[in-house]
């Protein structure tokens, strides 16, 4: 199975792949994530987004504000919201937002991911699913590396079995090298972002795509534009 990521020049990746998306703060990682979500929805896939920084409603609002219409695709968009309960917000689950107790509640997060997988694949008969965890960095603030490694070990395995894709966002510069190296063992490829003199560059590794050299990009509104294209 093939998946389109919705990032220019990095279009097709194979099902069963686990990908780490790594970049510094303020480089537009959220925009990348949202583009990946949007591309999946447009392709008729099921999307599972584990959100540790933005609560579920906030995620949906971004799409509204960016004038990306996902209204009719919403039932294929499952959000595991790890924020609302942690902040003590008095909100219950909705059709497409399930709330985990906290970012420490890996058991609960795991159950909710599995439930969305089941809902999309068994009940809605959707063949393709992409799982996005945004971000591992927040999870690492609450749990140690080994714990996150075990968690990811389970779900990268499930991604392979389901022929889905998994994308795991992590901040560069926030963790020591060993942390990144340890988690890298679990993924097949990387999408790397770097900043140099206020300019941003992207490249991919291990995804079988052409984008293996650093290319400069800019964020324009909700879009990622590769320069010199």
Partner 1 sequence: MLKTGIPKLDDFMGGEVPPGRSLVYYVQPGVEGDVFGMQTLYHHLMQGGKGIYVTISSAPYTVREHFNEFGWDVGKFEDRFIIVDAYSALVGADSDERYVVSDPENIGALDETLSKAMEELGSGLVVFEPLSTLMDLCGEEETLEYVKKWKKLHMTYNNVFVCNFTAWPYAEETLKQIKEELFDAVVTIGGIAERVIFGQYFGVSKVDWAEVKKRSMLFKVFRPTGIRVYIPKILVTGAYHSGKSTFIHAISSRAVSVDRLGTTVAMDHGRIDHKGFAADIFGTPGQERFDPILKVLGGEAMGVFLVLDSSKPMDFVRAKQMLETARAHGLPYVIVANKQDLPDALSVDELRERMKVPKSVPIVPTVATEKKGVFEAFETLIDMITEVK
Using rule CB under 8 A, residue 114 touches partner 1: yes
111 binds partner 1 (CB under 8 A): yes
The correct pick among 117, 168, 200, 217 for binding partner 1 (CB under 8 A) is 117
Separation of first and last alpha carbons in the chain: 28
Q: Which is nearer to partner 1, 80 or 224 (CB)?
A: 80
Residue 28: Cβ-neighbour burial (10 angstroms; 0-12, 13-18, 19+): middle
143, HSE (Cβ side, Cα atoms, 13 Å)? 17
Supply the minimum distance, in Å, between the C-beta of residue 142 and partner 1: 7
Task: Tell me if 66 contacts partner 1 by CB under 8 A.
Answer: no
Among 29, 38, 85, 98, the residue binding partner 1 under the rule CB under 8 A is 85
**Residues 135, 169: contact at Cβ < 8 Å?**
yes
CA–CA dist 44, 73 (Å, integer): 8
Our finding on whether 108 is near partner 1 (CB under 8 A) is yes
- Residue 163 binds partner 1, judged by CB under 8 A: yes
- Among residues 141, 175, 156, 146, the alpha carbon closest in space to that of 20 is found at 156
Catalog residues that contact partner 1 under the rule CB under 8 A: 85-86, 88, 101-102, 104-108, 110-111, 113-115, 117-118, 121-122, 142-144, 146-147, 150-151, 153-154, 158, 161-163
């Amino acid at each position: 199975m093939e998946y389109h990521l919705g990032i220019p020049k990095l279009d097709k990746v194979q099902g069963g792949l686990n990908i780490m998306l790594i970049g510094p703060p303020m480089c537009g990682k959220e925009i990348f994530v949202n583009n990946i979500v949007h591309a999946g929805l447009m392709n008729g896939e099921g999307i599972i987004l584990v959100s540790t920084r933005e609560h579920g409603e906030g995620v949906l609002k971004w799409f509204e504000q960016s004038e990306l219409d996902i209204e009719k695709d919403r039932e294929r968009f499952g959000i595991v919201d790890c924020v609302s309960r942690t902040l003590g917000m008095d909100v219950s689950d909705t059709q497409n937002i399930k709330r985990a107790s906290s970012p420490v509640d890996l058991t609960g997060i795991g159950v909710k991911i599995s439930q969305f997988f089941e809902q999309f694949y068994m009940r809605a008969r959707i063949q393709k699913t992409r799982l996005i965890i945004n971000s591992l960095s927040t999870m690492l603030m609450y749990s140690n590396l080994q714990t996150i490694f075990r968690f990811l070990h389970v779900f990268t395995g499930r991604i392979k079995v389901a022929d889905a894709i998994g994308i795991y966002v992590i901040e560069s510069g926030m963790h020591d090298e060993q942390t990144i190296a340890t988690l890298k063992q679990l993924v097949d490829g990387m999408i790397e972002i770097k900043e140099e003199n206020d300019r941003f560059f992207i490249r991919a590794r291990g995804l079988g795509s052409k984008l293996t050299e650093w290319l400069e990009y800019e964020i324009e509104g909700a879009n990622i534009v590769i320069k010199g294209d």
